[in-house]
Structure 1
Amino acid sequence: MSFLDEEYLLGSEAAVDLYESIADLPVVDPHNHVDLAEVVENEPWNDVWEVEGATDHYVWQLMRKRGVPEEKVTGDASNREKWDALAEVFPDFAGNPTYDWVHLDLKRRFGIEKPLNADTADEIWRETKRQLADDAMRPQQVLREMNVEVLCSSDDPTSRLRYHERAETEVEGVDVLPTWRPDRALKVENAAWTEFVADLDDATETTIDDFAGFLDALAETHDYFAEHGCVACDIGLGTNPVSRPVSTQRASEVYAKARRGDDLTAAEIRDWKAYLLEFVGELNSEAGWTTQLHVGAVRDYRDSLYETVGKNAGGDVSTQDVDLVDGLDYFFDRFDGEMEVVLYTLDPTHYPSATVVARAYPNVSIGPAWWFNDSPMGIANQLERVAAVDLLANHAGMVSDSRKLVSYGSRFEMFRRTLADVVGQMVDRGRIPYENAERLVEHVAYDRPKELYGL
């Protein structure tokens, strides 16, 4: 087998055949961090660093690991200097999925077969720059070339979705839908919560002086998103998911205290989050939306990086210290059979708990191997566990979870090849007939996400 050839990640003839059956299916991406302004404006990219490195936290982290100074990662160095710095250390990325993704991007999007290194950096820079000047390489055209059918962005409730409105008429061939993400509403312990309340006041016609007004304003944004085609809510629960019955009176008292700027106790913070989580669930259930729960991220863990670069700079980690079962049992029971729930767990040690919960609740599905687990190893391990404990046919499918548009195709290709290899092994071991295997991979790769999100 040669580098990224037709049998890449495929270990058997059955796997090769299965992948061929799903390789060209449209991409349905229910969770990503697309820069919608970039898509709608459809201006050409300037250079390969802009498309491969400028927004990719994975690239940044690995460059730092190999000693590249921050100036050539997120600093003031030119894009060419950053690209050369990346190329110098890129061979050392081997084994990490970032190595695969970037090379897949270069091969699939630009037709470049050569591996990226210090010797090829200049040639690849010049060739990609030439191609990026062509109208066929603008964002909308690239989305269509990757056969992207649906993109669901991640949006704050206070967003007025102006670019989504423009996308309806200005982006052809791709359905671009918003996703309602109320994280700032739940995180009452953060200084940014006060800013969210002010933004909510500005974005709605509801007075938020009291708690009832706050809830009405949230519901108003929920309705606004529904009018713009939203089909899902995305909630980041961090490391301390909590669901339990909390009275409206109790939540109202916490709201009043937070609005005054008083310090909240740990119990008050937990009760606030539990109340809001149930309230959000009720809104989603009534609207027929799918609720996506992201559990286990520890944000901005590396202090020096946060202090020098800021938020979302690649300093996040995961933790095993999450009580998934006790933390969410009330939520699962409260909405048992009432709405679809997709459960993403960041630490792979939570897969055993997540899969048994999904097995117990027919309306709970396991989301794709997320973030640090988005690799051939991580995807395969998760798919095998879901198949063995829950049902692979009920897996939620793939999402790009990416800020880098040109990599959507590469992310989905890695997933589909790994899916084909996992199911191909079942065929080779005599566990399932090929015809059933082919139906299964087609279902997980395309039909399941459309079914799950009502697309």
Structure 2
Amino acid sequence: MNPFIHENFCLETETAQELYHNYAANQPIIDYHCHLSPQEIAEDKRWNNITQVWLYGDHYKWRAMRSNGVSERLCTGKASDREKFSAWAATVPATLRNPLYHWTHLELKKYFNCDDLLSAQTEQQVWDMSSERMSEQSFSARGLMESSKVKLVCTTDDPIDSLEHHIAIKNDENFDIQVLPTWRPDKGMTVESSSEFNQWLDALSQRADIHIDNFDSYMRALNKQHDFFHEVGCRLSDHGIETAYALDYSDQEIKMIFDEIRSGKELSELKVLKFKSAMLYHFGVMDANKNWTQQYHLGAIRNNNSRLFKSLGPDTGFDSIGDFELARPLAKLLDRLDSGNNLAKTILYNLNPRDNEVLATMIGNFQDGSVAGKMQLGSGWWFLDQMDGMTRQIEALSQLGLLSRFVGMLTDSRSFLSYTRHDYFRRILCNILGNDVKGGLLPNDTELLGSMVKDISYNNAENYFGFDL
């Protein structure tokens, strides 16, 4: 009897199996959007036990554990690592048909060579097996990346970051994997709180060594940091926003709004939205001038549980899918950039599955023939980073755009074990194509289909982003 995770997992046809094993499985990985710690890579972090590498910071698992009646003490609290692992192991059988069940066992198989189904009955043997594996010299941040065939990762970094760890990695001749920063300037437009924004401005002022007392000096500081990121190797930006912002404004209005912010005044909702609209435009122009790729992660509604947000902070599992108006403001923002020939290569990610077709048709409005797949429908992310979400993204892009030009999967993760997401995606892609061949919807030409699989798995990303590999 085959173990649950076996070589043909998710591959329902012979064609799918051939496409996966001959064209997808051995492709290297460009993980162009993740939340790994560059410091942990620079220091080649090691962990004392599986809980530390697997459960620390994993809000996906915490949400499932809470849903299973597990107390906060065993999720983010002060329970021991062994107790937290036991609580997770007891939860895993309850995750059947949740993507966590697949992810859990894919990671156990790949990184621990473990075929056991994790449960309360098997937790001790899994704990022991993982402890033995983690004692090996190769089980470290860098070792896991190397064993996963990673060639390059892009972390997510604030404009005020020193990038010291990226620079250290770049200068380390003993490590061949590129670790590049990504410009994430969300705090540069988050003006709902003047005090918090001014604290960030002060940090930016110090980092850029520019006194920020008006909007023009603010933009000089941002551009100086943007140049610095480029010098260190950054070629992508990223924006985590509820929706696009594209209200009309004048330059004079924005300068006056900035003066209000700097004086400590709280802004009206209208002024907040105008400032966000201006900054999204300016950020887009900065990216276009350097031939970067801009990414918009759209649609999350965050920190919904105010009680637990106050005690636990952000990114602890209390965010969800939002239902914001998307199409009209996004079209206006992209057109505003395109009208001045300032529209950079762009990847649009939606969190609400209702918006797959919205974005798949939106990107077609701004393809201009300058770059193959200039406008991209991003992979399923966060709540859509699972079999149904990935399948629906593939289907929408297939029907309304060019799947063959898709730049493929990413981890969007803080975990060094998440590279199985790339494998999971490749299996799902090959399975869809294999079933189409079986149904007579695609030609039974594995060389033709295999070429597309290789492109989506790796080649498209290498060509699109312009990394020096």
In 2, the alpha carbon distance for the partners of 1:164 and 1:26 equals 21
Residue 432 (structure 1) aligned with residue 442 (structure 2): yes
- Contact kept in structure 1, 2:57 and 2:316, CA below 8 Å: no
CA-to-aligned-CA distance 1:42-64 (integer Å, 9 cap, x gap): 13211001111112110111011
Which residue in 1 is equivalent to 2:401? 390
Deviates more, 1:353-362 or 1:148-157: 353-362
How many aligned residue pairs are there? 452
2: CA distance, partners of 1:211 / 1:356: 36
Matches within 5 A, 1:203-282: 203-238=207-242, 240-282=243-285
1:411 to 397, 421, 431: 421
**Alpha-carbon distance in structure 1 between the residues aligned to 2:121 and 2:48:** 22
1:138 partner letter: S
Contact 2:407–2:457 under 8 Å retained in 1? no
Cα drift, residue 12 of structure 1: 1.1
Maintained 8 Å contact 2:244/2:333 = no
1:429 Cα offset (Å): 2.4
Query: 1:425 Cα deviation (Å)?
Result: 2.2
Alignment correspondent of 2:354: 349
Q: Which residue of 330, 333, 336 corresponds with 2:335?
A: 333
Distance 1:117 1:294 in 2: 35
CA contact 1:397–1:445 (8 Å) conserved in 2: yes
Aligned to 2:321: 318
Report the 3-state secondary structure (helix = DSSP H, G, I; strand = E; otherwise coil) of the residue aligned with 2:348.
strand
Q: Distance in 2 between matches of 1:312 and 1:353?
A: 27
**1:244 offset after TM fit, Å?**
4.3
User: Residue 3 of structure 2 contacts residue 115 of structure 2 at CA under 8 Å; is this kept in 1?
Assistant: no
Match of 1:159 in 2: 161
Aligned residue type for 2:387: P
Gaps of 5+ in 1: none
Partner of 2:12: 11
Structure 1 residue 245: Cα displacement:
4.6
The equivalent of 1:130 in structure 2 is 132
> Partner amino acid for 2:158?
D
Q: CA RMSD in A?
A: 1.4
Instruction: Find the counterpart in structure 2 of residue 444 from structure 1.
Output: 456
1:70 shift after superposition: 0.3
The amino acid that maps onto 1:145 is S
1:260-288 CA distances to partner (integer Å, 9 max, x unpaired)? 12121111111101111111011000011
CA distance in 2, matches of 1:96, 1:173: 36
Q: How far apart are residue 423 of structure 1 and its match?
A: 1.8
Deviation at 1:364, TM superposition (A): 1.6
Task: State the distance in 2 between where 1:162 and 1:346 align.
Answer: 32
Q: 1:308 — aligned with what?
A: 311
Q: Retained in 2: the 8 A contact 1:346–1:373?
A: yes
Partner amino acid, structure 2, of 1:381: R
For the residues of structure 2 that align with 1:442 and 1:431, how far apart are their CA atoms? 20
CA distance in 2, matches of 1:370, 1:79: 28
Partners of 2:258 and 2:162 lie apart in 1 by 25
Residue identity in the other structure for 1:436: L
Q: Secondary structure at the match of 2:184?
A: coil
Partner of residue 28 from structure 2, selected from 2, 26, 40: 26
CA distance in 2, matches of 1:148, 1:108: 14
**In 2, distance between residues paired with 1:396 and 1:81?**
40
For residue 146 of structure 2, give the secondary structure of its aligned residue in structure 1.
helix
Structure 1 pair 426/359, CA: closer, same or farther in 2 (3 Å)?
Answer: farther
CA contact (8 A) 1:210 1:256 kept: yes
- Other structure's SS at 1:406 match: coil
Contact 2:35 2:155 in 1 (8 A): yes
Name the CA distance, whole Å, in 2 between partners of 1:370 and 1:55. Answer: 17
1: CA distance, partners of 2:261 / 2:309: 26
User: Take 2:214 and 2:383, find their aligned partners in 1: how far apart are those partners?
Assistant: 41
- Per-residue CA deviations over 1:101-135 (Å, capped at 9, x if unaligned) read 12111111111111111111111112211221211
Asked whether 1:174 is paired with 2:180, we answer no
1 CA distance for matches of 2:451 and 2:366?
Answer: 24
* TM-score (normalizing by structure 1): 0.97
Native 8 Å contact 1:354 1:366 kept in 2: yes
Q: Does 1:194 align with 2:198?
A: yes
Distance in 2 of aligned mates of 1:140 and 1:42: 6
The alpha carbon displacement at 1:442 in A equals 1.1
The alpha carbon displacement at 1:229 in A equals 0.3
In the alignment, which residue of structure 2 is the partner of 1:296?
A: 299
Which amino acid is 2:85 matched to? W
Provide the C-alpha distance between the structure 1 equivalents of 2:142 and 2:45, rounded to a whole number of angstroms: 9
Moved >6 Å (runs of 4+):
none
Look up the equivalent residue of 1:178 and give its one-letter code: P
Q: Distance in 1 between matches of 2:190 and 2:215?
A: 16
Unaligned runs of 5+ in 2: 368-373
Give the distance between the partners of 1:452 and 1:344, measured in 2 at CA: 17
Match of 2:58 in 1: 56
What is the one-letter code of the residue matched to 2:361? Answer: V
Kindly provide the CA deviation profile for residues 402-428 of structure 1, in whole angstroms up to 9, marking residues without a partner as x.
0111122x1111111111111222222
TM-score of the two chains, using structure 2 as the length reference: 0.94
Superimposed CA distance per residue, residues 368-411 of structure 1 (whole angstroms, 9 cap, x where no aligned partner):
00110111111011101110111102323111000111122x11
Secondary structure of residue in 2 paired with 1:407: coil
